[in-house]
Each structure stands twice: as C-alpha cells, then as structure tokens.
Amino acid sequence: MFSKRLDRIQPSATLAMTAKAAELRAKGVNVLNLSVGEPDFNTPKNIVQAAKNAMDNGHTKYTPGSGIFELKEAVCNKLLRDNQLSYSPEEIIISCGGKHALYNACQVLFEKGDEVIIFSPYWVSFPDFVSVTGAKPVFVKTVATNQYEPNFDDLQSKITANTKGIIINSPSNPTGGVWSDKAIIKTLEIANRHDLWVFSDECYEQLVYNGDFKSIASFTDNQDKLLTFQSCSKTYAMTGWRIGYTAGNKDVIKAMSKLQGQSTSCPNSIAQYAAIEALSGPQNQVLEMAKIFDTRRKLIVDGLNAIQHVKCEVPNGAFYVFPDISYFLNKTYNGNTINSCNDLSLLLLNEKHIVTVSGDAFGAPNNIRFSYATSEDIINQMLIGLREFLTLLK
C-alpha cells in the first residue's frame, strides 16, 4: 500500500522511548526519565511575551515560505555576534526546527547513487534523512576516548567517487563529544579535496563546557559547499516552537525554500517573532541554563563511573552521556540473557522505571544514552536504581 520511500526510514527511537515514559507516567508510575532530548526549563519569559505581542499585533497569518526578513536579519546578527560568521539574509532560510532544515537540505542535494558520510554514533535521524532521498548513508568510526572525533583512516577508506556529502554534529547527540580544532580542520581538508557538501549540525552550539564553541564555517574561507544548521530548540528551551535555520550557499537556500514552500508553506508565524526576541534579546538565561547542565554533567559522569564496570567518557558538550555498558551484555537477569543494550534499556524501564535510549538506535551496540536535561534529584535516584539493578546481573 505504501511507497518504497517509507520502507527506507525507521520510527524515531528517542521519540518512542519518550512515548513509553509518558504511558507509564499516565498509569501513575514514578518514572525517572533520562531519555529526553530537550531542556527541562521553561522558555524564557521575554520570548513568551514576544509571542503574545505577535498575536496581539496580528502576526497570525502566513509568512514568506522561507521565513520573515526580520528573523533572517536577526539570524545574521546572531551568527556574527556568536560565531563570527558573515551572512546576508538571502543566505538564510528559517524552517520548522533544525530537523526540518536538515531534512530539506538532504532532499535538495542528495539522491539515488549518492553516498553520504555519517559519523557513528550518530543522531538517530541522520541515516533516515539520507536514505529517504534514495542516497546511501555510509558510517565512519569515531574515537570514543577522544570526544568521538573521526577515525581518519576509516574516513579516508569510506570515500568513493559517489560520496557527495558529509554530516558533522559537534557537540554531538548522542555522545556529547566536541571535536577539537585539529579534527575539524582535517575533516574540512578531506571534504574539500573530494568536493563534498559539508553539513554542520550545530543545534547544541551553546552547550559547550570547556572553552568556547567554534562554528565549523569559521574554519574556512571556502563556504560555498558548507551549510550551517542551528536551532532555537535547545538553546532557548523552545523545542515545541519549531524554529531552526540554515546558513549557506544562496542557491541551496533558494532550492530549500522552493521545497519548503510546497510542503509546509512557512514556519509558524508567531514562533518566528518569538525567535527574533530569542536571538536578539538578553542572552544571560542561555548561560544560566548551560551552568546548570554543567553541574549535572559532573554529577552523572562521576556517578556512572563510580558503578563497577560502567565506563563513561566525559563529554564536553550537549546534555547527554553515553556510557559503555558492554560488560553487562550476555549476563543474565532472572535466568534471561541480556543480548543487547536494547534488552538492558528495556529491563531498566520495566524493573527500575528508568527511561534511557539504547545505543542500538545510534549505531552503538555497547552503549546507552542518558540525558541529563533533568533534575539532580532524578539523576541521583537513577544512579541508585541503576547500581542496584546492575548488581543483580549474573
């Protein structure tokens, strides 16, 4: 009944776990949800007020398909202020979240016969964005002990005459890894040599804990084939507002606008006005949220590493930790063998009501993702429950 296109994509594993957690909570269970991919803070009041003003002022109609000019200008000012990048409004498109932006870009640039490099572990949606176009996702290994920077031998060996693009995500979901300048420069050199499109997904750009974030585009003068994706979602606790944007080559931006115009018409009008305030208004709340995340990061990393046989790298960004739990694979619980990290993740949910996302979904069968976009209390309860559960495994 359905098109082949649909067979090429998987349901989002992270959204599936969020739904499971909601189901349990509705039954009255005290769920410890560490699966969420969004800040647990409210959207700052000044941004909410800007949305109310937009409605009062009648900004409740369709906008231009690629977003309102004032927001594009605000994005340009933001890119200059925070990322030292100089773009003009015709090089910007506003979309319904970073996800929509990345989806559109894949649609306009990739097709059957193309190969696109994705670094593993990867955000669950990257392979699907690529596969749905008919192109083939090609996975490249990374080095866990080095902020999940590329394994460059593997990268070189995976590039073929069909390679068309490369997707970078630093800080990364699910690992929290932040690449060094050296790794970025080397990756850009390789991409340049093979004339690849470079996508830089920077939706966690404001959540870097040791030093300043540097946008990938700031490492090169040759930005013709480099697209930068950012979003209001994680930075301003605006996940439900659905505003993300792309900066890059104006022909690609035009192509994305054409597609967007025929699919969603335009991003939400009210949210676009709110996003102007988010990007242009006071930024102190972004720093405050990042500080709270940093405290939780230390708590969860130390707590996980204090559990015997759990190995957790210290991520330098985002709000995820991605411990290696391979020691527990093939152990048994009540006589049943734990065959995969997915089994372990499900047992944690059923036995301890701890919601995580198994690494399988991210191409990492030895890991489980915990989000620390939740309270210290929940992190502490999770650590106790996890320790108790793991000691029961034989």
Residues near ligand PLP (CB under 6 A) are 37, 97-99, 123, 169, 173, 201, 203, 231, 233, 239, 244
Q: What is the DSSP letter of 314?
A: -
Alpha-carbon gap, residue 93 to 104, rounded angstroms: 11
Which amino acid is it at 106?
A: C
User: Can you give the C-alpha Rg of the chain in angstroms?
Assistant: 21
Tokens representing residue 107 in the block = 């649609």
Q: What is the DSSP string of 222-253?
A: --TTEEEEEESTTTTT-TTT--EEEES-HHHH
Residue 255 CB, shortest distance to ligand PLP, in Å, is 20
When the beta carbons of 87 and 122 are compared against ligand PLP, the nearer one is: 122
Residue 336 CB, shortest distance to ligand PLP, in Å, is 32
Residue 171 CB, shortest distance to ligand PLP, in Å, is 8
Residue 225 CB, shortest distance to ligand PLP, in Å, is 20
Residue 268 CB, shortest distance to ligand PLP, in Å, is 13
Alpha-carbon gap, residue 129 to 51, rounded angstroms: 31
When the beta carbons of 172 and 386 are compared against ligand PLP, the nearer one is: 172
When the beta carbons of 192 and 239 are compared against ligand PLP, the nearer one is: 239
When the beta carbons of 117 and 203 are compared against ligand PLP, the nearer one is: 203
Taking the CA atoms of 224, 150, 108 and 267 in sequence, report the sign of the dihedral they define. Answer: negative
Residue 332 CB, shortest distance to ligand PLP, in Å, is 34
Residue 174 CB, shortest distance to ligand PLP, in Å, is 8
Decide: 98 and 233 in contact? Cβ < 8 Å. Answer: yes
Residue 104 CB, shortest distance to ligand PLP, in Å, is 12
When the beta carbons of 66 and 310 are compared against ligand PLP, the nearer one is: 66
Buried b (16+ CB within 10 A) or exposed e, 320-344: bbbbbbeebbeeebeeeebebbbbb
Residue 38 CB, shortest distance to ligand PLP, in Å, is 7
Alpha-carbon gap, residue 304 to 367, rounded angstroms: 13
Please identify the residue of the shown chain whose CB is closest to the bound ligand PLP: 97
When the beta carbons of 223 and 246 are compared against ligand PLP, the nearer one is: 246
When the beta carbons of 168 and 347 are compared against ligand PLP, the nearer one is: 168
Decide: 299 and 371 in contact? Cβ < 8 Å. Answer: no
Decide: 91 and 253 in contact? Cβ < 8 Å. Answer: yes
How far separated are the first and last CA of the chain, in Å rounded? 46
Residue 370 CB, shortest distance to ligand PLP, in Å, is 14
Measured in degrees and rounded to the nearest 5, phi and psi for residue 178 equal: -125, 120
Alpha-carbon gap, residue 15 to 248, rounded angstroms: 29
Alpha-carbon gap, residue 352 to 50, rounded angstroms: 42
When the beta carbons of 216 and 347 are compared against ligand PLP, the nearer one is: 216
When the beta carbons of 37 and 121 are compared against ligand PLP, the nearer one is: 37
Report the run of H or E that residue 200 belongs to, with start and end. strand 197-201
Beta strands in 26-177 (DSSP E): 32-33, 92-95, 115-119, 136-140, 142-143, 149-150, 163-168
When the beta carbons of 231 and 257 are compared against ligand PLP, the nearer one is: 231
